[in-house]
Amino acid sequence: MLVNEAIDLALARCAELGARVSGTKSLMIQRISQYQQRLYTMARDWNPDYYGTCVIATLDVGRIDLSDIIAPLEAIDGIERVEVADAGTSLLLPLDEVNIVPLNDRLDANIPPRAVIRRGVLEGVSTDLNNVISLRIHYNPIPVAIPLANGGATALQIAAPHDGLVPLDLALYLLDRIPAPDASTTQGRAGIAAEQVEAMALYERHVRAFAGTTARFG
């Protein structure tokens, strides 16, 4: 579903109630953008494997700027695990976990190899990552903000049928901006809210049950 399509659906739901809603397109795009990011964050909390992905990043003098390694349509919402990909001439081995530690505890917390992350830059502690060529970073993504200019042609990153949550949320947002809604509008809003609750429950159930495979190891 495109952003423009979500907007059209939301406006149609409001029109069905006979409600005259107001909202500039830029505000509607901003609402959709923020809500889509919220759906990704909720999914991360329910099941980090659902949107979870990984990337191999090359170290530059023991540092990696995380903003340089992500896809253009997503940002890092939370890092789950960092491990050695190419150990180079170091004494480490591929798949060795790199422990992310707080800055003030960098020499005392956990065991080497260690790294700290400050303002999106991952840097090895002391000499822990010396001679390591690359790391594999497992993380949960979050969509970048939809551009307000020409953002209507952008495709949502929530897969069908759960992308239907987006126009429902936008319709509620628009209805809540009516200064003095009549009884009919208020009743109609309650119906859309109930539909959203049901759709959200289905989304949560789908995310929690996702395993990426039909096989189980036991």
Mean per-residue pLDDT, 60-81:
85
Domain closes at, from 124, 142, 160: 142
pLDDT attached to residue 218:
46
Q: Residue 89: pLDDT band by 50, 70, 90 thresholds?
A: very high
Residues 22, 38, single domain; the answer is: yes
Per the CB < 8 A criterion, the answer to whether 95 and 83 are in contact is yes
Q: Are residues 127 and 70 in the same domain?
A: yes
Collapsed DSSP state (helix, strand, coil) of residue 99 = strand
pLDDT at 214 over 70: no
pLDDT tens per residue, range 116-170: 999 989 999 989 999 999 999 999 999 999 999 889 999 999 999 999 999 999 9
pLDDT at 58: 94
| Terminal-residue alpha carbon distance, the chain | 39
Closest of 203, 171, 163 to residue 31, by C-alpha: 171
Prediction pTM value: 0.84
- Per the structure, the complete domain to which residue 87 belongs is given by 53-142
